[in-house]
Structure 1
Amino acid sequence: MPRVPAACPTNYAGHYTVNPGDTMFIISSIFRINLSELVRANPHITDPNVIFSGDILCVPGQIPFPCCVTLDLVQPAELGVAGVALVYTSFVGTQAISVMAVMDALPVGFDILIAEVNLPNQVTSRQQLYPSPQTPPTFSGTTFFPTAASLTPDTIIRVFPANSATGNQGSIKLQGSLNRCHR
C-alpha cells in the first residue's frame, strides 16, 4: 500500500510518485534539492532509506531562476537605505546571488558592508559588498553556491555593517527571503 502524505509543507512544488529503483538521493538529484530538505518535507516516510514504488512524496518548493527580491529595511525610519538580491545561474553553471545595497554612510565604527546568505540546514555564507565610486555608493557583491546546495524559498539574505579590523558586526540593515523572489 503506497504511503501518502497527510499534507505537504508550505511552498512545496508538487508531488512525486516513487518509481522502481528510486532512492531519496536520486529523487533529490532529479529536482536539484538538498537531500535533507526532501526528507524533512516527507515525515510520513519513517525511514528515508526505505521507499517503495508508488509512495507519494512532497517535493519542496524551488525558486525560479533568474529572479529578484527586494530586501526590506529592518529599521524603516532609515532613509536612503535600500537593497535587492538577484538570483541566477552563473556562467560556469553554479547558483549565484548578487546583492546590491545603497546606504548613505556606514555607521560609526564600521568600515565594510556584509551580505549574509543563510540556506537553512545547509550553509551560511558571508560576502563583503564593495562600494561604487558614486555618492552615495552602491555596495555590491556576489556569492556562489554549488549546484548541490538548494536555494529554497526559506533562504534568508541579510545585510549589515562590520568592522574589518575587530570583526565586530553591526545591526542588520536589510533583510529578505527568497520566498518573494520574482521573475
Structure 2
Amino acid sequence: MFRQIPRIPSSCPEAFKGRYVVSPGDTLFTLSQIFRVRLEALYYANPHITNPNILYPGDVLCVPSFIPIPCCIELQKRGRIPFGTGATAYANFGPRGGQSISVLATLPPPSYFGNYDIYITTAFFRDIGGFGNQLFPTREDPPTWSSRIDLPTVVSLTPDVRITIQPSNSTTGIDGAVIYENTLRQCCNVNGC
C-alpha cells in the first residue's frame, strides 16, 4: 500500500509563521476560511504543495501568524509565591478558527493572596487592551488551574502580547497584583520571528 510522505516546508514567509498539520478532509479552501485568509495567499505561502487541490493528512502548511505557533512559554513569577507553583501559556490556532491562548497553572487557593476567590488570566494587546477569562481548578490538591482565551479574529498573536495571571474577588470585582506573566517573545527565541 502506498503511503504519501508528509510535505513539510523548510521555512515560512513573513506573517505566515504558524504551522498547521493537515487532517483528513482538509482543503486549502476550507482552511482559508478557518484561518480567514485569501485562498491565493495560503497557496503562495506554501510552494511545497505543488497542486493546491490535493492535500494529504500529515502535510504541514504555513498559516498566518506573526509568531511561530503552536508555541508554549513559561510564565514568570512576580512577587512572593509559594514553592511548587508554576504556570505556562500555550498559543495555538483556536478550535473554531482564529487564535487562542490556553493557560495552565499550579497555584495555591486565591485566598493565599488576600480577599480573593478566583484567578483570572488576561492576554494584553498593545493599543487594543486585554482579553481574559477565569481560571478553573481541577479536583486535585493542590489543584491545577486552567482556561482558554479564544481571541476575536480582528487580533493576531504577536511577540509583544503579554499574558498575566492574578487573583480576583468575584463579588467586588477587585483584582490583586499580577503573580505570573510573560510575553510571547519567548516563542521567537525558540523558532525565530
Interval of TM-score (by shorter of Structure 1 and Structure 2): 0.5 to 0.7
Question: Is residue 133 of structure 1 aligned with residue 146 of structure 2?
Answer: no
CA RMSD of aligned residues (A): 2.5
1:1-183 → structure 2 map (5 Å cutoff): 62-75=66-79, 78-106=82-110, 107=112, 108-181=114-187, 182=190
Partner Cα distance (1:140, 1:70) in 2: 14
Greater alpha carbon shift after TM alignment, 100-109 vs 125-134: 100-109
Question: Is contact 2:109-2:117 (8 Å) kept?
Answer: no
Greater alpha carbon shift after TM alignment, 100-109 vs 86-95: 100-109
Partner Cα distance (1:178, 1:96) in 2: 12
How far off is 1:147 after superposition?
Answer: 2.8
Partner Cα distance (1:131, 1:154) in 2: 28
Report the secondary structure of 2:147's partner residue.
Answer: strand
How far off is 1:76 after superposition?
Answer: 5.8
Higher strand share: 1
How far off is 1:163 after superposition?
Answer: 0.4
Question: Is contact 1:117-1:157 (8 Å) kept?
Answer: yes
Question: Is contact 1:104-1:135 (8 Å) kept?
Answer: no
How far off is 1:161 after superposition?
Answer: 0.2
Amino acid at match of 2:181: Q
Distance 1:80 1:167, change over 3 A: same
Question: Is contact 2:124-2:162 (8 Å) kept?
Answer: yes
Partner of 2:23: none
Q: Normalising by the residue count of structure 2, what TM-score does the alignment of the two structures yield? A: 0.61
Partner Cα distance (1:77, 1:125) in 2: 24
Partner Cα distance (1:159, 1:77) in 2: 12
Amino acid at match of 1:95: Q
Partner Cα distance (1:79, 1:111) in 2: 20
Partner Cα distance (1:168, 1:157) in 2: 19
Cα deviation per residue 1:130-167 (whole Å; 9 max; x = unaligned)? 00100111110011112320211000001000000011
Partner Cα distance (2:77, 2:115) in 1: 21
Partner Cα distance (1:63, 1:147) in 2: 16
Partner Cα distance (2:70, 2:153) in 1: 15
Residue-pair matches, total: 130
Amino acid at match of 1:109: N
Partner Cα distance (2:109, 2:171) in 1: 18
- Structure 1's consecutive aligned runs of 4 or more residues displaced over 6 angstroms after TM superposition are none
Amino acid at match of 2:78: V
